[in-house]
Structure formats: C-alpha cells, structure tokens
A and B are shown apart, each in its own frame.
Chain A
Amino acid sequence: MAKKVFEAADASNLVTELRRSFDAGVTCGYEWRVTQLKKLLVICDNHEPEIVSALHDDLGKPELESSVYEVALLRNSIKLALKQLKNWMAPDKAKTSLTTFPASAEIVSEPLGVVLVISAWNYPFLLSIDPVIGAISAGNAVVLKPSELAPASSSLLAKLLEQYLDTSAVRVVEGAVTETTLLLEQKWDKIFYTGSSRIGRIIMMAAAKHLTPVVLELGGKSPVVIDPDTNLKATVKRIISGKWGCNNGQACISPDYILTTKEYAPKVIDALKHELEGFYGKNPMESKDMSRIVNSNHFDRLSKLLEEKEVSERIVYGGQKNRESLKIAPTILLDVPLDSQIMNEEIFGPLLPILTLNNLEECFDVIRSRPKPLAAYLFTQNQKLKERFAMTVSAGGIVVNDIAVHLALPTLPFGGVGESGMGSYHGKFSFDAFSHKKAVLYKSFFGDSAIRYPPYSRGKLRLLKALVNSNIVEFFKVLLGLS
C-alpha cells in the first residue's frame, strides 16, 4: 500500500483532533497518564528484540548499547514517572507575606495542551520516548515526529505507539523536512526538539509566531580536560566508552576533543591506543561492538573533515574508512589547527582531536573562547581544580572523572545553555518541562483595609510604606494614629 502524502490539511486536522481530546479532558486525569506510561513499559518489555534489530538496521548499533542506552534507560525513566507521578502532580504550597495576608497560596502544575516532540536519529528510541514520557506524565496530548534518518526505528515507533497508546491523544507522524515544516506551521503549546543548533533556530523562529515555548536539546563540541594528575587507565577507558562506545561518537554529549598538556599528551595517546585495541581488537573496522555512521551524507561530512590537509597529516591513530559499510575506525588526531573545520563544528563521529596546552590553566580560555557546550568533562584528582572547573566553566552539564553518565541520572536536569540549547528534562524535570506552573492565591473577604483604595491620602501612603517594609511597629503606630 502506497503511503498517503502528509498535507497541510492533515497537519491541521491532526492538531484539531488532539486539541479536542485535550479540551475534553481525556489526558488530564492521573489514571490516563498512568495507563499510557504502563503501555510504554509494555513496549519496552515485549518488543526489545524488535527495537534492537531496528537500531541495528539504522545504525549497526551493538545489542548491548541498544539494550542499555535505549531500552533500559527508558524503562527506568517510565518506572520513575509511575512511582513519582502522584508527588509530581500534587500542588506545591507557597508561603504568603504580610502584604497579601490573610491568604493561602499554592502552585499547581497544569498540562500545557497539545505538544510536539521532534526527535533525533542517533538514539531514536530514547530521544523519542523519553520526552513523550514527560509530555504524558504532565497530561498533554502529544505528536511525535521521529527522525527520517533512522527509518526502521521511525516506522517501528509509529507502529508500536499506535498499537499500544491512546491514539486520540498520542500520535506519530513520520517524515522529513516537508512533514516537519507542515507540523511547525501549526500552533503548539510546547515544542520539544532534539537535534542541531541550526535546526534549533528554525524551530524557535517558527515557535515565535505562536508564542510557543520551546525546549531545544542541541549539541556542541564537548571538551574533555585531562589533568596529568589522574588515573590514566580509568580515564581513557571512560573516554573510549563515552566516545566510541556510545553510538561511535554520534551522541550529543560525546567527547568532542581532548585538552591536555604537551608533556602528557603522548602518554594519553599511548593509553588510548592500548585500550582501544583491548576494546575493539587489532582491526576495529571488523568489530561488532561499534555502531556505523548513520548514512553516506554523514560519512562524507566526516571524510571531508579528515581530508583537510593539515588535519589528515595530524592523524596519530586510525583513519581507516569504508564508504560501502559506512564504517570509520576510531581516529585520534594531535594538534589540528584551531581554524580547521573539524575544530569548528560538532564532530558527531569517531574522530577525536587532542589539543595540547603549555599548561593546563589554558584550558579555561580555550573553552571560554568557544560556544557553550552541552557537556564539559574533567579528569583529575586535584580537588581545587575540580571546584574551579565546576564553578567557572559554563556548559549544560559538567562531569568530573567520567563521561556521559550524568545522562542516566534522573535527579540531574539535562539540557544545554547558549548554543547547546535551552530548557532541561529527565526525571521530574521532564514533568516540569511539559507543565505550566500556575500560581493560585486564595483570599478571604476578612481584613479588607481602606488603604488599598483611592481616594489617597498621606496617612495611607505611610501605612503602605510600613506594610511594604513589613514594619509591624510602624504599621500599628499609623493605625492607632500615633505617627
């Protein structure tokens, strides 16, 4: 059966339909949210083999990576939401002050309405369903647009979500630029986008037309600083598993480049070579434990980065590639020029430049001179350096002595700043990302004072001053006519 073309009318009908469900209150209740979350859990439990196989088709992702970084993370995320939802939904009490006395106040989390989630191809399940968990937990109707660059995953998502979830409020639209453009023309109550800074700008521009708030999960060049005062073996192992062991560098929090001192760099390179061989064998092109490059476009982009003359002669390890199998070996480069292309765009692949510094202090300037990354990593045993790094380096998140693990922690907000994005999610932050925090004030009729109202007089002004300063003595003095 030929697929029907998605047209402007389809986009607007879709939103109208979901809005009708939302307005009817379908998605608002606790029961509905829990039912949908449980269904998502069933998808994870019953369809893991299909998910693993779709990810293998799209990215050659090793089973363990799929099973852990996509399915297991999702399962945790759903379970946490199921466990915490009642708490998250409960209003927060707020303290009121003397000026507004007598009153009580609370903050109510209410769903935003109909939201759009646009996800990316590198972790097509995690990055699709994780925001959907937030959207559903918060009681929204949601449309998911998975990336067309991971087609097997996209169609599996469409199939599974339609099969399990309430289609009156949760939908999947498959497609590429045309479909996305049509979707972006609609009025949404929130847009959650994962992808590049370039598209992020387009999304926000489209959102501005309808005053739609956005969460933009973008990327950037996440630096890794290695202080010679570290446990080198553990350091390089973590870097390798965070770089090549996470979708072969095609992850938004992947280490993009290393900063270390001139003297220490050779040791880092030797250790990297040694551990890489231990992980992926003598011929990494044959290893089954590494994803491939997503498609020939990205393969060509990476090749171009490598082929720049002053870059290619800086390869100290790896460099093999095969366009047929879309494989590129783990590649380490030493001191590529700062103005080369590879140092000016997010690499998003298995290439790892090492920049050397005369002294480690310089790392702060290098990082500060560039757009704010999604993550910044530091390996050191030096407590002072840790603190300085955490306080002064601006990035979405900072991890000391590890790579990428903060992504798995629902107690930490995950999101960028500046070029790496805006807004955050994970755990309760996901719920908050899709909620409006409505301020509610309950006032009684008791205690209405004339000072609030015209006609104004000097006495009223003085009373107000006392009240605003919460100066109780002055307040009573004026009331009693003593001042």
Chain B
Amino acid sequence: MEGMEEIVEQSLREMRETFASGRTRSVKWRKTQLAAIIEMVKDNEDKMCDVLFQDLGKHSTEAFRDELGFVMRSATTALNFLDKWVVPRKSNLPLLFYPAKGQVISEPYGTVLVLSSWNFPISLSLDPLIGAISAGNTVLLKASELSPNASAFLAKTIPSYLDNKAIKVIEGGPDVATILLKHQWDKIFFTGSPRIGKIIMAAAAEHLTPVTLELGGKCPTIIDHHSVSKDMKSVVKRISGGKWGSCSGQACISVDYVLIEQSFASSLIDMLKPTVKSFFGENPKESGCLSRIVSKKHFQRLSRLLNDPRVQASIVYGGSMDEEKLYVEPTILLDPPLDSEIMNEEIFGPILPIITLRDIQESIGFIKSKPKPLAIYAFTKDENLKTRILSETSSGSVTFNDVMIQYMCDALPFGGVGESGIGRYHGKYSFECFSHEKAIMEGSLAMDLEARYPPWNNFKLTFIRLAFREAYFKLVLLMLGLIKK
C-alpha cells in the first residue's frame, strides 16, 4: 500500500495544478469531456456489456437500459444545457442599494472525489463524473472493488478518452478508500450503504469537505387494491420489473417490500407467480435475464436473512439458492415477522416480502415508524391517500403508480433524506451538486450616504430604520427635515 500513498498524492497534486491552471473552468473543456464520455460509451458498448455480465450476470438489455443508455442520456442533457447552467443568475436588490448589482455565480469546488458502488458500476461512476465535469472540477474516481471487471475497464478506458491530468481513476478496496479519505478534497460524492456513509462523512469533517451521500434504505411499495383493482396486471408487472428486472433487486431504489390489505394478498401472490415465470421462464437460473448476486459475502448475507426459520416459514414462492452460481431465486414472502432481520435491513436482493395490513391507511403509520427510505412507491388512484402519503411520510422521492422510473427523470432531483442520504443529483442538480453558489455584489463608489457611517446620532438611526423598512417617502421627508425622530 506504500506505493498507493504516493500514487494518490501524485494524482492529487496533478489535479490541483490542473485546476489552478483554470483549464477545467472553460465551458469548452467541459463540453469536450462530456462529448468524450458519450463517445467512450458508444465505442465500448460491447465491452461494457461484457464486464457487466462478468461482474453481475447482467443481460445486455438491462445493462443498456440502466447503465449505458442512462449515461449517454445524462451526458447529452449536460451537453445541451451546460450553456444555460453556467450563466450567472441575476438577483434583484432593494432600491436602497441602488446603484448596485447582485448575481450568483456557480463556481467549481476544485478537486473532487467520487466513490461509486458495484451494483451499477458504470452508471454510478460516470453519472456523478458527468456532474463534476459539467461544473468544471477535476475528479478522482474510485469504482468499487466488488465489480472488478467494470472497475478495471473504467481505469483502463477513461484515461484514453478524457483529459487525464484532470480526471483520474484509481482502483482498489477499503484500504485505498482509507488513503483517499485522509486527504483533503473539495467535495466527496459517495454511493453506498449508510454504514460507510457515516465513515465518509466523519472523514470529510476533518477537512470541512461537503458531502453528497447516496444511500439506500427499505423502499416500501403500497398497493391500494381498491382503487387500482382494474390495473392490477400493470401493477404486478411494474413491481416485478422493479424488483427482479434491475440487477436482481440489488438497487438502492429497488422495491424492498410490499404493503397491501390482508384480503388482497393471496390474489396478489397469484398474479406475481405467473409474471415472474413469464419474465424468467420455468428455470430463472438459466434464463440469462436475471442478474446474479454480486459476491459470496452478499450471497451469504441473503441466505442468512432467508434462513431464519420464521422467515423460511413465510416463503410462498421461490426460495432456492445456489452458492456456486451466486444465484438466489426470485422469492416471495408473506408476512415474515416484523422483527426479523429481513424486515430491518435493506434486502438488496431478489426477495420480496409482502406485509399485510387490515386497512391500507395503516401503511402511513407503518412507513413512518421506520427510517426515511430513498423512495416510496404507491399504486393508488385515491387522491386522499396520495395527499396523506405526500404530507405525512418522508422519503427521498415518491412515485405514484410505477417504480424506479423517477431515476430516469432528470428533471427531478435524485437523493435521500435522513438514513437514505444527503444531497441530490441528476440533470441540473448534478451540476449544482458540484458547484459552489458564489454570491457577488457590486456597489458603486459614486454615491455615498453619510448616514451609513459613525459617529452615530438620532438622525442616522432614524434614517437607517426607515431605509430598512423601504419607507422611501418618509426618508425624503426626513432628509428635508420635515420629520424628527
């Protein structure tokens, strides 16, 4: 690890020099880099799909939908809107300050660190990178060691497309992250678990570095059967797609569990089973459409969750596992005990508990009693329930009648609250996430009001009070000596 210490220091020095040279501030540089990212993805579509298959068994369609395509669109959006984003915003100033001008300039933080995660190793690496570049920063990216092929691909490919004095990739695990975190960064962007998020934030505190933490949580899905009974086919499809169709449930915005009224649970299960079959066939292990579990450690975590005898007893579908192939079958649980581990940690895998309630209105209280999730999904047409969910619960986002697509909507900020994270990104928010909003005010030296300066007297006090109230008429009277304090 001694060599690593030096590599990190050398990289930091180079990035700081590059930033100081001002090169990364030019809009032209930023656009060149963004265009190069698009080119990189286009040129390497097959390779990227390969590494994603090697690391996670992701099907190329899934890889394109969730990663490659997403990154290309994100970079295209940034390219198209960058000219708009960088324009300083004028602010109105009160008349009292006339003739003065106010504006807010978005300036790059400087040298930023992006730590990404293994479940979407391409998009969760490149998407923050797009934000950091759009804002004019120099960036060091460390992808996760748990998706080694993707990490190696990024480390090898990024330098040949992007300005490698400004954008660097370092590979490694927690030991490398520890070295990186000892150094001072101007911003740290992390995607991962709340446990590591706390470590990142504590390390950032040493240097007063602002952080964006994209964490996870147990994202609930409410099914208000009464109002959506006619659309249950769509509901079931969307939930199944969201749970098993995106990295096998290993996504921070994956459906974690379903809340539904007791009387509808069995019909839901009856509909889920054939849908899973239609997605993945009789033998999902061989379907090629289901991602595998990332590592042995995660496989064991999932099997521990599932092997709790009380949880075992709740399995109504699936439940088989193959450690060799890191395969966990799409599994449905009905009412596992609420105090079981699976109902108290983020599942992050292809297991879907269904929790039954007497009345769907109870879902509000249920969600409120748990840490704030990254997303809440609710299938309902009941406006009253929608309002209750919006105003009584708290979460990073709320999506009605679908799952996970809020991630694709770059007009919306993406990020958590409470246990699910700090800060937000996507679209313009990515640009803001990596920018300091600098307030600029310009006064004029031409006009100078004596009342601003000591020695103080009653006239000045009255003057300033009136000025603050913007009582301009009274101010004139005061100046003319027509009113006294």
**Residues on A facing B (Cβ under 8 Å):** 23, 25, 28, 62-65, 67-68, 72-73, 75-76, 94-97, 99-100, 103, 105, 107-108, 110, 112-113, 189, 197, 200-202, 204-205, 207-209, 211, 213, 216, 218, 230-231, 233-235, 237-238, 240-241, 245, 279-281, 287, 289-290, 368, 379, 381, 386, 390-392, 394-402, 405-406, 409, 411-414, 417-419, 421-424, 436-445, 448, 452-457, 460-461, 464-465, 467-470
A-B CB contact pairs (8 Å), 17 listed: A65-B456, A72-B465, A207-B205, A211-B197, A216-B208, A238-B443, A280-B454, A391-B105, A409-B97, A413-B437, A436-B417, A438-B395, A438-B397, A439-B406, A445-B234, A452-B241, A468-B70
Question: Known interface pairs A213-B422, A405-B443, A456-B62. Does A394 touch B208 (Cβ–Cβ under 8 Å)?
Answer: no
**Across the interface, do B460 and A64 meet the contact criterion of CB distance under 8 Å?**
yes
User: Given A100-B409, A208-B202, A411-B102, is A68 in contact with B465 using a C-beta cutoff of 8 Å?
Assistant: yes
Cα A64 to Cα B451 in complex, Å, equals: 11
In the bound assembly, the distance between CA atoms of A440 and B400 in angstroms comes to: 8
**Smallest Cβ distance from A98 to chain B, in angstroms?**
10
Q: B392 near A: Cβ within 8 Å?
A: yes
What string of 1s and 0s marks CB contacts (under 8 Å) between B255-281 and chain A? Answer: 000000000000000000000001111
Q: A99-B408, A281-B455 are in contact. List 16 more A-B contacts (CB 8 A).
A: A68-B468, A72-B464, A97-B411, A100-B405, A105-B406, A113-B418, A204-B208, A211-B194, A237-B453, A390-B105, A398-B441, A405-B441, A424-B439, A440-B398, A441-B412, A464-B61
Q: Which residue of chain B is the closest to A104 with respect to CB atoms?
A: B400
Contact A103 B468 (CB under 8 A): no
Q: Which of chain B's residues 389-429 have a Cβ closer than 8 Å to chain A? A: 390-392, 394-402, 405-406, 408-414, 417-419, 421-424
Contact of A397 among B288, B441, B465 (CB under 8 A): B441
**Most B C-beta atoms less than 10 A away, residue of A23, A63, A287, A417:** A417
* CB pair A454 B72 closer than 8 Å: no
Q: When the two chains form the complex, which single residue of B102, B237, B280, B290 contacts A412, counting CB atoms closer than 8 Å?
A: B102
- On chain B, the residues within 8 Å of A455 by CB distance are 278-281, 287, 289
> Are A445 and B70 in contact, CB atoms less than 8 angstroms apart?
no
Instruction: Return B20 CB to nearest CB of chain A, in Å.
Output: 7
Residue B231 is within 8 A (CB to CB) of chain A in the complex: yes
Return chain A residues, CB-CB under 8 Å to B94. Answer: 409
The answer on a CB contact under 8 Å between A453 and B245 is yes
For residue B210, CB closer than 8 A to chain A, the reply is yes
Min CB distance, A422 to chain B, in Å?
A: 4
The reply to whether A103 and B409 form a contact with Cβ atoms under 8 Å apart is yes
Taking the closest CB of chain A, its distance from the CB of B425, in whole angstroms, is 11
CA distance A454 to B438 in the complex (A): 47
Residue in A205, A231, A418, A468 whose beta carbon sits within 8 Å of that of B445 in the complex: A231
Residue from B215, B279, B396, B452 in contact with A454 in the complex, judged by beta carbons closer than 8 Å: B279
Q: Which residues of B contact A97 (CB under 8 A)?
A: 408-411
Q: How large is the interface on B (under 10, 10 to 19, 20 to 34, 35 or more residues)?
A: 35 or more
Cross-interface CB contact of A399 among B215, B395, B443, B460, cutoff 8 Å: B443
Which B432-460 residues have C-beta < 8 A from chain A? 436-446, 448, 452-456, 460
Query: Would A465 and B64 count as touching, CB distance under 8 A?
Result: yes
Instruction: Take A438-B417, A439-B396 as given contacts and tell me if A379 and B445 are in contact as well, using a CB distance cutoff of 8 Å.
Output: yes
Contact B289 A402 (CB under 8 A): no
A133: shortest Cβ distance to chain B, in Å?
Answer: 16
Pairs of residues from A and B, 6 with the lowest C-beta to C-beta distance, nearest first: A402-B443, A468-B69, A456-B61, A208-B201, A204-B205, A411-B91
* A94 engages B411 (CB within 8 Å): yes
> Is B47 in the interface zone, CB < 8 Å from A?
no
Which one of B22, B244, B368, B456 contacts A63 once the chains associate, using CB atoms below 8 Å? Answer: B456
* Given A412-B91, A417-B436, A455-B289: A401 and B445 interface contact (C-beta under 8 Å): yes
Report the minimum CB–CB distance from A247 to chain B (whole Å): 13
Chain B, residue nearest A398 (CB): B440
Residue of A nearest to B215 (CB): A211
Q: Contact between A417 and B438 (Cβ–Cβ < 8 Å)?
A: yes
Given A76-B468, A414-B439, A468 and B289 touching (CB < 8 A)? no
Q: Is B186 an interface residue (CB 8 A)?
A: yes
Report Cα–Cα, A193/B97, bound state, in Å.
Answer: 29
Residues of A within 8 Å of B245, CB to CB, are 452-454
Residue B206 at the A interface, CB < 8 A?
yes
- For the complex formed, measure the closest distance between the CB of B302 and the CB atoms of chain A, giving whole angstroms: 20
A436 CB to nearest chain B CB (Å): 4
With A417-B438, A441-B398: A241-B453 Cβ-Cβ less than 8 Å: yes
Residues of A within 8 A of B439 (CB): 396-398, 406, 409, 412-414, 424
Q: For A445, list chain B residues within 8 Å (CB).
A: 228, 231, 234-235, 401
Query: Are B205 and A439 in contact, CB atoms less than 8 angstroms apart?
Result: no
